[in-house]
């Protein structure tokens, strides 16, 4: 848990020159990316996991008839994205947690929402990167998914919008778990039910793309609208979830009596 001094600290140094939110987020994300480039831990782990999942899907579903592939490929794509996303999100705040640098980040003269956008950006980059490996590979392995090669712009837009919905919710709760004394295993319990509506939108859109459905762009628009709602709600909730402004401090929760009883 963060100490009271950090919780009470103002989010910004009012005497410092005003830096736009986007630039603050970019500077924080650049810092994360620079650290990632030094050891490539997150990228290599996520890419390797994607490869393993892909091989398993290929072994299990290679003999599927083309009609069934149209139903199975969207599931393969978004299930893999959900797993890779959970893997990425469990690590996204680990550097801050392990080196105890979250306290330092919170005392920087930055808007706290910029921390959310920086983590969202890095998560999105990693998940979309893995999706960019998955989509062409699925297109090569399954004839029904060749459309990923034939309509790359539509496929890319679908991938980015689907991953954004997942990352928007995930980055918020990963931040909450980084400062709570709970374990990261809770992330999966929270993440999968919450991201399911977004994943269903993405599944429906992917199926529409594979079937050449005329309403594909309408579905894409709905997914974009859902992204906007999720990012807006998550950025609005980020500061209280990260720091808390609760009426009852943590030690005064209903279980306090039980925990403090000798």
Q: How far apart are CA 86 and CA 184, in angstroms?
A: 10
End-to-end CA distance of the chain: 23
Question: What's the rounded Cα separation, in Å, for the pair 184 and 186?
Answer: 5
CB of 187 to another protein, least distance (A): 9
Question: Could you say which of 98, 99, 100, 183 contacts another protein (CB under 8 A)?
Answer: 183
Nearest one of 139, 141, 180, 187 to 166, comparing CA atoms: 187
Nearest to 155 by CA among 135, 173, 170, 172: 135
The residue within the footprint of another protein, chosen from 20, 143, 152, 197 (CB under 8 A), is 197
Q: Which CB, 34 or 257, lies closer to another protein?
A: 257
Q: Does 190 bind another protein (CB under 8 A)?
A: yes
Residue whose CB is less far from another protein, 46 or 203: 203
Token couple for 142: 């399954």
253 binds another protein (CB under 8 A): yes
List the structure tokens of 10. 């103002």
- Binding flag, residue 229, another protein (CB under 8 A): yes
List C-alpha distances in Å: 99 to 87, 93, 152, 174, 252: 20, 10, 41, 16, 28
Q: Which stretch binds another protein (CB under 8 A): 47-55, 74-82, 83-91, 244-252?
A: 244-252
CA dihedral over 158, 159, 160, 163, signed as positive or negative: positive
In the complex with another protein, the residue whose CB is nearer, 84 or 234, is 234
- In terms of CB distance, is 2 or 43 closer to another protein? 2
The residue within the footprint of another protein, chosen from 51, 156, 180, 224 (CB under 8 A), is 180
Q: Hey, how many other C-beta atoms are within 10 angstroms of the C-beta on 162?
A: 28
Contact pattern for another protein over residues 158 through 177, marking x by CB under 8 A? -----------x--xx--xx
For residue 53, give both structure tokens.
């999942």
Number of residues interacting with another protein: please give it, by CB under 8 A: 40
Task: Provide the binding-site residues for another protein, judged by CB under 8 A.
Answer: 1, 169, 172-173, 176-177, 179-183, 186, 189-190, 193-194, 196-197, 200, 204, 222, 229-230, 233, 237, 240-241, 244-248, 250-254, 256-257, 260
């Amino acid at each position: 848990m963060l100490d009271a001094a950090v919780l009470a600290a103002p989010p910004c140094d009012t005497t410092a020159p005003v830096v736009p939110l986007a630039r603050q987020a970019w500077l924080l994300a650049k810092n994360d990316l620079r650290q990632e480039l030094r050891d490539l831990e997150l990228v290599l782990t996520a890419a390797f996991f994607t490869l393993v999942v892909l091989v398993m899907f290929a072994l299990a579903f290679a003999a599927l008839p083309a009609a069934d592939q149209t139903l199975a490929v969207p599931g393969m794509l978004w299930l893999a994205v959900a797993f890779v996303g959970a893997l990425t999100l469990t690590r996204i705040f680990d550097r801050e947690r392990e080196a105890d640098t979250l306290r330092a980040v919170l005392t920087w003269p930055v808007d706290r929402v910029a921390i959310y956008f920086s983590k969202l950006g890095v998560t999105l980059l990693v998940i979309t990167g893995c999706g960019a490996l998955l989509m062409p590979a699925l297109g090569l392995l399954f004839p029904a998914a060749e459309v990923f090669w034939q309509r790359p712009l539509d496929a890319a837009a679908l991938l980015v919008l689907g991953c954004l919905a997942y990352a928007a919710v995930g980055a918020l709760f990963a931040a909450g778990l980084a400062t709570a004394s709970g374990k990261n295993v809770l992330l999966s319990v929270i993440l999968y039910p919450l991201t399911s509506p977004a994943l269903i939108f993405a599944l429906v859109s992917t199926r529409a793309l594979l079937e050449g459905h005329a309403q594909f762009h309408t579905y894409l628009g709905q997914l974009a609208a859902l992204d906007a709602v999720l990012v807006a709600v998550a950025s609005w909730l980020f500061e209280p979830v990260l720091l808390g402004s609760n009426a009852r401090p943590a030690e005064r929760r209903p279980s306090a009596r039980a925990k403090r009883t000798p």
